[in-house]
Amino acid sequence: MERPRAKLHPHGVRLEATGEIVPLVCGTMHYWRLDPSSWARGLDAMRAMGMRVVDTYVPWGPHEYAPRKFDFGETRARLDVARFLRMIHERGMLAIVRPGPHINAELTYFGLPERVVWDPACQAKTPKGNPVMLPIVPVAFPVPSYASEAFHEEVEKWFEACIPILAPLRHPDGPVVMVQVDNEGALYFRDGTYDQDYHPDSVQLFRDYLRAKYKRPSALKSAWSAPNVAPDDSLTFSTANPPARFDAKTPDELVRHLDWAEYQEHLLATAFERMQKKIAELGLDGIPTMHNFPLGEAATPLNAQRLYGSIDLVGLDYYHRATPSEHTVLMRRTTELASRAEGREVPAFAAEMGVGFPPFFAPHDEKDSLYTLMAALAYGLRGFNLYMAVERDRWIGSPIDPHGNPRALADDYNELCEALEDADFFSLKRRAPVRLVMPRSLRRLARVSHAFGPVTPAAFHIMGAGFREGSFEEDPALASAEAFVRAFERALLARGVPFSYAGGETLDTSTEGASWIVCATADGLKPDVIAELRSRSKRGARVTLGPVIPTRDGSWRTLAQPADVRGLEIEPLEDLARADALVAKRIEELALPTYPIDPLDAYVTVHEDEAGRARLVFVMNPTSAPIVAKVSIPGVETLSSLLEDAMFKRGPHTTAGFDVTIPARAVRIFEVDAS
């Protein structure tokens, strides 16, 4: 077993050779898209901008010039990835390599060889056995199957070619400190529950999954049967077929649909595990592995909990605009990421922090990019990769041009990076004693009952829409559960109580240190979730469950025994306004911190050092007009701007706050002086 060369740390990555902890302040540069004569200038410009780590894909398609024949610089100099990595190492920088197989990167076929995507044996299938087409610019193409043995065989041949070139360049012999396994694995954005994957290899994997879950054919028959409907006596593990569309009429008929949705999570997890094992076997071990979730991840089959074991760091992609609605989505995504990362003692990482945009997407301007980064930092992000730091084809708006020349925007990022380092930001913590839990079972139910056919459920999540907008009207349980948790969100924001979201299947890590846990429920919830909530209650946390006590498990099978909710507070919240009264009560009972802000169009977060002292304050304004915000931070007398020459003093009365002007679509960061 290879001795670890780099390990993840809450503040970044720890270099085992020296013991140094390096924050994950990264930027992306695509070597194969640039003239090698510009590589040095681009790397130097990145280093001058504050980037210590260089991120790059290693694309299968561009490196393959004939079937299973590869060029790594022998013919085309711009494909010499080893030389590029050595240049990074010479500058004292580190590297994250991303060999796919899927990379997207706005490449035709998402970086896969054309011959592979058009091989029927490699293609994901629709319920009717047709290829699953992705209608993407510049060329629509059939997406691969994560279950296809033929596809995995091709992937292994690609890894056998590229990994031995990358492996000798692991730190300390080279710059490589992390490797990404695949990319944005949401089934190539054809992630509707019934879009795919009905490939024969996937159907067999589904049957194997059912066998492992139910153990006996009789148990499967019982689970998939509905009252007053004759059981299918021919149903066995070898004959079970996945549902092709949502046709459940009663809760009892949901089981096979939810099994299919959960299987899709299993499919991705097993595919990534297989890829990771091959990468390690070929020599790229001893460093952390990573995967990045795209926008709308909560509405896809990507499940962070199922990836752990083969994947060490699950990061998010950020391509948001500075608007109130997108701010809310960013807040929910980032706090859930941060609570999960904190519990696992790894950095909350933005694997792609969009700077610029592809020309065929809606434009993002410089304010959008800076706002998204700074707001994500405000909500707990502790590492980021500027994508793209260096501009290339099919991209507009990077801080460094394709020739390695910095633009004016580079100065803004340089100033921010230097200020964060001076303030020791990466060692600070945003304390969030309240956790809002949206169980995975609810997200699965929303996926299977999505009412808009070919429009992916993730699109609704990206837009900030919820279960009510995206699901069938006949399912009020989803809407009630979502209304429950959103009522607490509004009440907490109104009183300035810091909170985070927590994923249902990561409760053991995502609720670590919580004083109050609020969990939304519908008819179904895994008994394991209730058991974990009870465990937290026994260890001193207050736990509020509602609006109903589940009578079914996470697959919507009727519980044999009533749910054991001893020690939990059951709150039906028949009047949503009652959430505010409960928040006020908890503030007094649990001495929860409060950082109220007026108006509520603005937002504030506080970051503390290890001793619990407030060190930095972020004040955010996602609106299109300047705001004068009144901010109250107990125990703080002055706020000094981290990026401007400005200071604010507390008002003349002890209860008065700070009157802080926040420009439109902007974030201001302040250092604090305690009383």
CB neighbours of residue 560 within 10 Å: 6
pLDDT, position 1: 58
The H or E element spanning position 445 is helix 440-448
Asked if pLDDT for residue 401 goes beyond 90, the answer is yes
Whether the CB-CB separation of 585 and 634 falls below 8 Å is answered with: no
465 band by pLDDT with thresholds 50, 70 and 90: low
Asked if pLDDT for residue 151 goes beyond 70, the answer is yes
* Distance of alpha carbon 633 from alpha carbon 639, whole angstroms: 10
Over residues 618-637, mean pLDDT:
95
pLDDT tens digits, 287-319: 999 999 999 999 999 999 999 989 999 999 999
Report CA-CA distances (Å) from 310 to 28, 207, 271, 307, 591: 24, 23, 10, 6, 40
pLDDT, position 455: 65
The H or E element spanning position 176 is strand 176-180
451 band by pLDDT with thresholds 50, 70 and 90: low
Burial code (b: 16+ CB inside 10 Å, e: under 16) for 308-347 equals bebbbbbbbbbbbbbbeebbbbbbbbbbbbbbbbbbbebb
pLDDT, position 477: 82
Bridge partner list, 569: 544
Over residues 215-235, mean pLDDT:
87
Structure tokens at 588: 């007094």
pLDDT, position 674: 58
The structural domains of the chain, with segments of one domain joined by +, span 6-109+148-194+278-424, 200-260, 434-590, 597-674
- CA torsion 589-593-597-602 (nearest 10°) is -120
pLDDT, position 669: 98
pLDDT, position 469: 55
Q: How far is CA 483 from the centre of its chain?
A: 23
pLDDT, position 368: 97
CB neighbours of residue 671 within 10 Å: 17
pLDDT tens digits, 65-107: 999 999 999 999 999 999 999 999 999 999 999 999 999 999 9
pLDDT, position 462: 66
Q: How far is CA 56 from the centre of its chain?
A: 19
Cβ-based neighbours of 577, under 8 Å, separated by 6 or more:
487
pLDDT, position 574: 93
- Indicate yes or no: pTM above 0.85: yes
- What share of the chain in percent tops pLDDT 70? 95
Domain boundaries 434-590, corresponding CATH code: 3.40.50
What's the one-letter identity of residue 98?
Answer: R
Fold for domain 597-674?
Answer: Immunoglobulin-like (2.60.40)
**CATH level 2 (architecture), domain 6-109+148-194+278-424:** Alpha-Beta Barrel (3.20)
pLDDT, position 316: 98
Where do we find the tokens 């996470």? 554
227 band by pLDDT with thresholds 50, 70 and 90: confident
Report CA-CA distances (Å) from 409 to 405, 415, 424, 471: 11, 10, 23, 42
Structure tokens at 128: 């009717």
Over residues 645-666, mean pLDDT:
84
Over residues 163-182, mean pLDDT:
98
Whether the CB-CB separation of 7 and 16 falls below 8 Å is answered with: yes
Over residues 594-603, mean pLDDT:
96
Who has greater pLDDT, 1 or 150?
150
Who has greater pLDDT, 33 or 645?
33
What integer best gives the mean pLDDT of the chain? 94
Over residues 506-514, mean pLDDT:
92
pLDDT, position 652: 66
Structure tokens at 551: 């009578």
- What share of the chain in percent tops pLDDT 90? 89
